Chains A and B, each alone.
Chain A
Amino acid sequence: GEDVEQSLFLSVREGDSSVINCTYTDSSSTYLYWYKQEPGAGLQLLTYIFSNMDMKQDQRLTVLLNKKDKHLSLRIADTQTGDSAIYFCAESMDNDMRFGAGTRLTVKP
């Protein structure tokens, strides 16, 4: 079956860059997403990238897509304590979405 995989934990120091990686298996995915989940809150869409793009930048966020390797990454520049959360990557095709297990990002002062 199709699985979206990402590491469960990442710890960085405040001010450093964070890179969260994700692999997916369905080459027919049309959009790939990054969501942020803060404690007690629902998922917040951070950014998304269309499958024919290689990179998308939005302020401190940079998304890189390697479609050949089915690898997606989210880079957060100048990571702040407020960035501590769980980050989910997701792929979508047609009317379905599949999520990874989420990466818990901890930002240490």
Chain B
Amino acid sequence: GAVVSQHPSRVICKSGTSVKIECRSLDFQATTMFWYRQFPKQSLMLMATSNEGSKATYEQGVEKDKFLINHASLTLSTLTVTSAHPEDSSFYICSARADRGGANTEAFFGQGTRLTVV
């Protein structure tokens, strides 16, 4: 099956610093990538959707200036948490979808990144 690689799997950073998380589709071209945030005992929350070469579409309540998303190529999307604060500590997961003839196809998920801001 398709593989999506997310890096790093864990990161600890100091308050006020920025952290970049990478999401790569290893064996397919991902025209659409999704970034989610998971809070304990809660569902995955979609943060934003990005299409290659265009600006990301953010969900309501997600600060676009704080969570910078770059989908520069068909195999790479990055999420940068800027000026991180302890409340940004969470589990972030990306997923990638290869659009095939317009049909709604399955999405493949990365391993997730556990971000801890101290």
A-side contacts of B54, CB under 8 Å: none
B-side contacts of A48, CB under 8 Å: 106
A30 and B97 alpha carbons, distance in the complex (Å)? 15
B49 touching A95, Cβ below 8 Å: yes
A41 and B10 alpha carbons, distance in the complex (Å)? 12
Known: A42-B93, A44-B109. A96 touches B43 (CB 8 A): no
Query: Looking at the complex, which one of A30, A43, A96 makes contact with B109 (CB distance below 8 Å)?
Result: A43
| Interface: A4 (CB within 8 A) | yes
A19 and B94 alpha carbons, distance in the complex (Å)? 28
Interface size class of B (residues with CB under 8 A): 20 to 34
Interface 1/0 per residue, B74-118 and A, CB below 8 Å: 000000000000000000010100000000101111111000000
Query: Looking at the complex, which one of B32, B41, B106, B110 makes contact with A42 (CB distance below 8 Å)?
Result: B110
A96 touching B49, Cβ below 8 Å: yes
Q: Which residues A64-109 have CB closer than 8 A to chain B?
A: 88, 92-102
A99 touching B44, Cβ below 8 Å: yes
A43 and B36 alpha carbons, distance in the complex (Å)? 12
Q: How many whole Å from B51's CB to the nearest CB in chain A? A: 9
| Interface: B6 (CB within 8 A) | yes
Q: How many whole Å from B93's CB to the nearest CB in chain A? A: 6
A92 and B49 alpha carbons, distance in the complex (Å)? 13
B46 touching A101, Cβ below 8 Å: no
Known: A42-B6, A42-B93, A42-B112. A97 touches B107 (CB 8 A): yes
Interface 1/0 per residue, B42-64 and A, CB below 8 Å: 11101001000000000000000
A101 and B39 alpha carbons, distance in the complex (Å)? 9
Q: Write the residues of chain A forming the contact surface with B, with a CB cutoff of 8 angstroms.
A: 4, 8, 30-31, 33, 35, 41-45, 48, 88, 92-102
